[in-house]
Structure 1
Amino acid sequence: MSSLRPGSVCDTTPLQRFESQSSSGEEPSSPTAASIIAAAAAAAAASSATPTSTSNPHNLNNNNNVKLDLQLPTFVGSSGPGLGSGLVTGPGSIVPGKRPLRGPKKILGRILLDLCMLSCVGLPMLGFSLWGEPFKRGFFCNDTSLKHPYKHSTIRSWMLYLMCGALPVVLIILVEFFRGQDKRLHGTYKSQKTRTGSGYHLCHLELPYWLLECYRKIGIFIFGLGVEQLTANIAKYAIGRLRPHFFTLCQPVLWDGSNCSHPMNAGRYIEEFTCGAADMNAKRIKDMSLSFPSGHASFAFYAMLYTAIYLQRRMHWPRLRMVQHFVQFLLLTFAWYTALTRISDYKHHCSDVLAGAGIGITYAIIVTSTMW
């Protein structure tokens, strides 16, 4: 009976070829199920064919201990047993535990996409402002709801933009910044919300997660504001309701040269007229027909209600609970006061303010419904 050299059978098996390639530095091919089965069968055959010699018991022991050492490839960005994971902290570097970072191209692409969405809302609003003409609605000369005096707005436009535009943005930035510094909030939410890094890097520095949250919350706020204002403008130009100070500001002159002081025009519905006031211009004439709904009321209620809901869902500090509620009260009070001044300043009718407030409240609830 001829003796077999140890390993003479296994040298030609797929497993031995795979291990010899790994030891020699060559690129081993990925092991398949067929190659693993063939390697195991060859190892069993080799152990059964080896003589059980008592003179050298070490040979038997060495042949029976077949080592299956399969080095599976590492996949970047995955996790689990045998599957590596990595985080790119800089160009070309990988650290186990997190996903690869997204660079300036990803940041620019996301910003451009968001700007395209905003332009879908902003461009129609710009078109209404530059070239839009409201529906030309007539009037009755004895309509007392159009004979109120002209007054300047109590809440000027710059005040509205400051309180309903800049203030919410500042509050969002402050809350998100302090949330990012508060370690007590870490681990109380889902994993994607407890990271300190945003997954985006700029100039080899990873942007903080709180900055990404600021971008998200402010972006949603601005988009909802644009949609709300576009909805109000569509109604303004489609209805063309006259403002309460129409007679005072316009002093209408009828097509036959008469005016509303003539008795024959008392019960007539007038559609053909021109404004006889000396200081009238195209912008004022256009603005007189944009009473319904109230843009100030919709703007104020949307911005203030959005900010109040945001504080309720993101400001999680028990010691500041009363401060939070007080700020919410001030915000909603400003929206309420703005709506009331539009009536007392004779800029809108009561139904105009109610419709505007309803539009603002509706959109604020919609855009914050998925906020966490």
Structure 2
Amino acid sequence: MHRREEEASVQASSVQGGSSSSTRPADAPAERAFPIRSHGAGVARSHAYDWVALLLLVAVDGLLNVIEPFHRFVGAGMMTDLRYPMKSNTVPLWAVPIVAVIGPVIIFTAVYIRKRNVYDLHHAVLGILFSVLITGVITDAIKDAVGRPRPNFFWRCFPDGKGVFDKVTTGAICHGDPSVIKEGHKSFPSGHTSWSFAGLGFLSWYLAGKIAVFDRRGHVAKLCVVLAPLLVAAMVAISRVDDYWHHWQDVFTGAILGMTIASVCYLQFFPAPSHKEGFWPHAHPGNISERRKNSESQVQGTREPLDAMETGRGGQ
């Protein structure tokens, strides 16, 4: 259904803006404008189901944050590794969406202002939202199922420093704030880390496509631009260990999870940065037209040998 709507959009765009060049260099994408005013509503309508899916992901993630996580057994002997001090977050929770989503969207918007291409803006925003929300749902589902205690669990369980344990099982009998204890069972994997890599990892892919980092010309400066968002995500991950909110395994798994989802979501909406059409999204009219021409040429190339074979048979 999306394919038919996108092809219809290509035809409508051709009528509105006239014909464009049939061939263009890989590093010089068409400069034809597709502004929000004339094309935005149509692009959004063609992905209405995707926006509904985003809302469902928000609802699911909200539910996962409400339910009680699995309370893993914590014995007296385990408290030695869970007695790290309670520290405030170096990167507050509210800062993560700003760094991982709002920051990249500002960059997407800057590209739109320069290129006036709503296809690129829409798919970049939709892609990064899918990346962080899918990552958030998976992360929170695993947190609730695993229930791993944080490195500072002792002080969450016994804020007065007086440990109380069952005489038979030696299990901790917590008397701290229930909400603080609940949060103490959500160590694995790191949400700060997975979100950061989901958003900033998507941004790295996006920048790689826009500046043609894999053009085989050896520009290391381009590579530095692409790696910069990943460095920011890595610093967020390191802060979680430094603050004693997570074990190193938590942030390592969160980074792998976030980067994997970011890669899948980016490639769902955009070609690989090394591809000749890697500048614009799959749904861009220029890319759709080029794929259609390639398909028609392949069909024609197959038809000619078949016609020759039929002619040969007829001559016999």
TM-score (norm 2): 0.66
Residues 366 and 173 of structure 1: is their aligned pair in 2 closer, same or farther, counting only changes over 3 Å?
same
Higher helix share: 2
- Superposed CA RMSD in Å reads 3.3
2:40, 2:229 → 1: CA distance?
37
Quote the residue 1:354 is aligned against.
Answer: 252
> Which of 114, 125, 129 in structure 1 is aligned with 2:50?
114
1:149, 1:105 → 2: CA distance?
52
1:86, 1:327 → 2: CA distance?
33
Quote the residue 1:237 is aligned against.
Answer: 144
Q: Is the 8 A contact 1:137 1:241 kept in 2?
A: yes
Is 1:306 equivalent to 2:213 in the alignment? Answer: no
Equivalent position amino acid for 2:195 in 1: F
Is 1:333 equivalent to 2:268 in the alignment? Answer: no
Secondary structure at the counterpart of residue 153 of structure 1: coil
Larger radius of gyration: 1
1:242, 1:364 → 2: CA distance?
27
> Which of 105, 119, 124 in structure 2 is aligned with 1:169?
105
1:106, 1:308 → 2: CA distance?
28
Is 1:221 equivalent to 2:156 in the alignment? Answer: no
Alignment of 1:177-192 (within 5 A): 177-178=113-114, 180=115
Q: Is the 8 A contact 2:64 2:137 kept in 1?
A: no
2:92, 2:170 → 1: CA distance?
34
Q: Is the 8 A contact 1:242 1:289 kept in 2?
A: yes
Equivalent position amino acid for 1:248 in 2: W
1:111-131 C-alpha deviation (Å, 9 max, x unpaired): 64232111231111111123x
Quote the residue 1:133 is aligned against.
Answer: 68
Equivalent position amino acid for 2:256 in 1: G
Secondary structure at the counterpart of residue 156 of structure 1: coil
Pairwise CA distance, 1:303: 1.6
1:228, 1:245 → 2: CA distance?
25
Residues 350 and 108 of structure 1: is their aligned pair in 2 closer, same or farther, counting only changes over 3 Å?
closer
Residues 169 and 103 of structure 1: is their aligned pair in 2 closer, same or farther, counting only changes over 3 Å?
closer
Pairwise CA distance, 1:252: 8.2
Equivalent position amino acid for 2:146 in 1: I
1:286, 1:303 → 2: CA distance?
26
Q: Is the 8 A contact 1:177 1:211 kept in 2?
A: no
Quote the residue 1:270 is aligned against.
Answer: 171
Pairwise CA distance, 1:137: 1.1
TM-score (norm 1): 0.57
Equivalent position amino acid for 1:214 in 2: L
Residues 259 and 323 of structure 1: is their aligned pair in 2 closer, same or farther, counting only changes over 3 Å?
same
Residues 337 and 108 of structure 1: is their aligned pair in 2 closer, same or farther, counting only changes over 3 Å?
closer
Unaligned runs of 5+ in 2: 1-7, 21-37, 271-277, 279-316
1:322, 1:251 → 2: CA distance?
52
Unaligned runs of 5+ in 1: 1-76, 78-84, 90-94, 181-207
Alignment of 1:30-179 (within 5 A): 89=16, 106=42, 109-110=45-46, 112-130=48-66, 132-143=67-78, 144-178=80-114
Q: Is the 8 A contact 1:175 1:315 kept in 2?
A: no
Higher strand share: 1
Equivalent position amino acid for 1:289 in 2: H
Pairwise CA distance, 1:364: 1.5
> Which of 180, 188, 193 in structure 2 is aligned with 1:284?
180
Q: Is the 8 A contact 1:175 1:314 kept in 2?
A: no
Residues 308 and 284 of structure 1: is their aligned pair in 2 closer, same or farther, counting only changes over 3 Å?
same
Pairwise CA distance, 1:156: 1.3
Quote the residue 1:342 is aligned against.
Answer: 240
Residues 304 and 107 of structure 1: is their aligned pair in 2 closer, same or farther, counting only changes over 3 Å?
closer
How much identity, in percent, do the aligned residues show? Answer: 24
Secondary structure at the counterpart of residue 103 of structure 2: helix
Secondary structure at the counterpart of residue 174 of structure 2: strand
2:236, 2:18 → 1: CA distance?
54
Quote the residue 1:247 is aligned against.
Answer: 154
Equivalent position amino acid for 2:135 in 1: E
1:152, 1:245 → 2: CA distance?
11
Q: Is the 8 A contact 2:101 2:128 kept in 1?
A: no
